[in-house]
Amino acid sequence: MNQNDSNYLISLNIADFIIQIKSDIEFTPEPGYELFLTNEKETTDFVVNCKADIPADIFAGQKPVFEAENEQQKFYDIYRYKAGLGFVIYNQQQKNTIQQIALLDKEFRNWTIYASDIAEFNPLRYPMGPIIMHYMTIKTNSVMMHASCAFDGQRARMFSGFSGVGKSTMSRIWAEAGSTIINDDRLIIRELENKFFVYNTPMYYKDIPKKAPLNAIYLIHHSPENKIQKLKGAIAATRTMAFCIQNNYDRSFVAERIGFFARLAAAVDIYDLGFVPNASVIEFVKAHE
């Protein structure tokens, strides 16, 4: 890192979105971003300007419109301000310590991120990176899902559900049968010219960017026997939407999401799948396609 460097510039290609990152200070993104770096210079979908030092009291006296926290810790707060949205991101190791302040314009195209800790300057440090990726999806006919996805060269099958339902187990079973795992935890679905595609995103570990046309979604749970039920219409849309990442404080976000999942449910087969965690589920799934 060299604090005298300016105009440090890198570009990422995530889900076929080009994100240009400009920084006052050179930094090394977390390892998961490495294989998503691109030399693409012609097009830019999103711009992230990174600056050192966090401005004090930028949202003092304001009430957040959204607070992402659990009983143990805060993740981030979201504020509305005149030019767009403001994010206060908390350090996940040091409780209640602000790690980044981020501003996002109303078009959701341009970010300014102020990051702390010059010694380890990393404006994309978790959870900032996934927040940027989530907000990439909101106005672009895309969603980010809690899901795994296996592509056997012909069909991409997504498996979704809350933590512990078997997403990683399902990935392992399909991988052992020769499928490529797009990712086993977090995915982006994009609607492009009335077709739906699934992409992986940078994780905490290195992986190459992957993309596949999405054929089917399975809402999974463990079961004493393999059993399947096809879902349609509003039920298919709402049950799948339950597993997307969403910040439901804005009416337009929610309306967009419902519309997206209604179109998804009309174009892609969606099933409720109870499964036994062994290879038998592969033939079972294929037999019901």
Partner 1 sequence: MNTKNLSKLKSRFVSREVDKELILVPLTGNIAKMNEMFTLNETAKLIWENMDKVENEEALTNLITNEFEVSHEIASADVSTFIKHLETML
Please list, residue by residue across 88-118, b when 16 or more beta carbons sit within 10 angstroms of its beta carbon and e when fewer do: bbbbeeeeeebbbbbbbeeebbbbbbbbbee
Amino acid letter at 261? F
Q: How far is the CB of 215 from partner 1 (least distance, A)?
A: 21
Tell whether residue 249 is a contact of partner 1 (CB under 8 A): yes
Q: How far is the CB of 73 from partner 1 (least distance, A)?
A: 12
Residue placing its CB nearer to partner 1 in the complex, 35 or 254: 254
Helix (DSSP H) and strand (DSSP E) numbers for the chain? 5, 17
Number of residues interacting with partner 1: please give it, by CB under 8 A. Answer: 30
Tell whether residue 238 is a contact of partner 1 (CB under 8 A): yes
Q: How far is the CB of 257 from partner 1 (least distance, A)?
A: 8
Indicate the SS3 state at residue 284.
helix
Binding mask 197-226 for partner 1 (x = CB under 8 A): ------------------------------
Site for partner 1 in 111-170 (CB under 8 A): none
Of the candidate spans 116-124, 167-175, 177-185, 248-256, the one that interacts with partner 1 by CB under 8 A turns out to be 248-256
Residue placing its CB nearer to partner 1 in the complex, 8 or 59: 59
91, 62, 87: which is closest to 74 by C-alpha?
91
Of the candidate spans 31-39, 90-98, 179-187, 256-264, the one that interacts with partner 1 by CB under 8 A turns out to be 256-264
- Residues making up the chain, counted from first to last: 289
Give helix 280-287 / helix 167-176 axis angle, nearest 10°.
90
Out of 37, 54, 228, 262, the residue judged to bind partner 1 by CB under 8 A = 262
Site for partner 1 in 40-69 (CB under 8 A): 64-69
Residue 245 burial (10 A CB sphere; 0-12, 13-18, 19+): middle
Q: In this structure, are residues 157 and 149 in contact, taking their beta carbons and an 8 Å threshold?
A: yes
Out of 30, 207, 250, 272, the residue judged to bind partner 1 by CB under 8 A = 250
H, E, C per residue of 65-78:
CEEEECCCCEEEEE
Q: Which residues bind partner 1 (CB under 8 A)?
A: 64-70, 75, 232-235, 237-238, 241-243, 246-251, 254-255, 257-259, 262, 265
